[in-house]
């Protein structure tokens, strides 16, 4: 069965070696609320979910059980083609933000070449 918010919250709390009471104090809530969340009997509002995700350094998608990637930096960035490395820092940054799982090396090249053309205009 796919993990839900409560399962992920519990896992993250345990990894930080926190008790439910520790987490409740950190978020100014009751221990009972944490218990309800972890047993998947209740789910907090979106703002509170974001606070938990930020605190544990994971994405909202991860804490909700949507993805297995804890954060956006878990996948490696796409490789920058050698002949396009002289484009400038803004293009290098753009290429590093593109995940290998999303674009092929050829698609990265096309994107960077398009950006280069647009900059000339």
* Confidence (pLDDT) at 32: 96
* Confidence (pLDDT) at 101: 45
Contacting residues for 86 by C-beta, under 8 A, at least 6 apart? none
Closest to 86 measured CA to CA, from 107, 119, 117, 116: 116
* Confidence (pLDDT) at 115: 73
CATH number at residue 22: 1.10.260.40
The number of folded domains in the chain is: 2
Residue 71: inside a domain, yes or no?
Answer: no
Rounded alpha-carbon distances, angstroms, from residue 9 to 23, 35, 37, 105: 10, 10, 8, 36
Domain span at 48? 5-63
* Confidence (pLDDT) at 100: 44
- Whether residue 55 sits in one domain with residue 88: no
Write out residues in the chain with pLDDT < 70, as ranges: 72-105, 108, 119-121
* Confidence (pLDDT) at 72: 60
Residue with tokens 């956006």: 72
d(CA 26, CA 36): 16
């Amino acid at each position: 069965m796919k993990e839900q918010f409560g399962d992920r919250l519990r896992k993250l709390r345990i990894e930080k070696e926190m008790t439910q009471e520790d987490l409740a104090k950190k978020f100014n809530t009751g221990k009972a609320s944490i218990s309800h969340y972890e047993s998947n009997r209740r789910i907090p509002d979106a703002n509170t979910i974001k606070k938990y995700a930020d605190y544990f350094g994971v994405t909202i998608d991860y804490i909700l059980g949507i993805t297995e990637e804890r954060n956006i930096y878990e996948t490696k960035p796409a490789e920058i083609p050698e002949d396009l490395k002289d484009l400038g820092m803004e293009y290098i940054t753009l290429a590093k933000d593109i995940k290998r799982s999303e674009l092929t090396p050829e698609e990265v090249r096309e994107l960077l070449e398009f950006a280069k053309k647009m900059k000339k205009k």
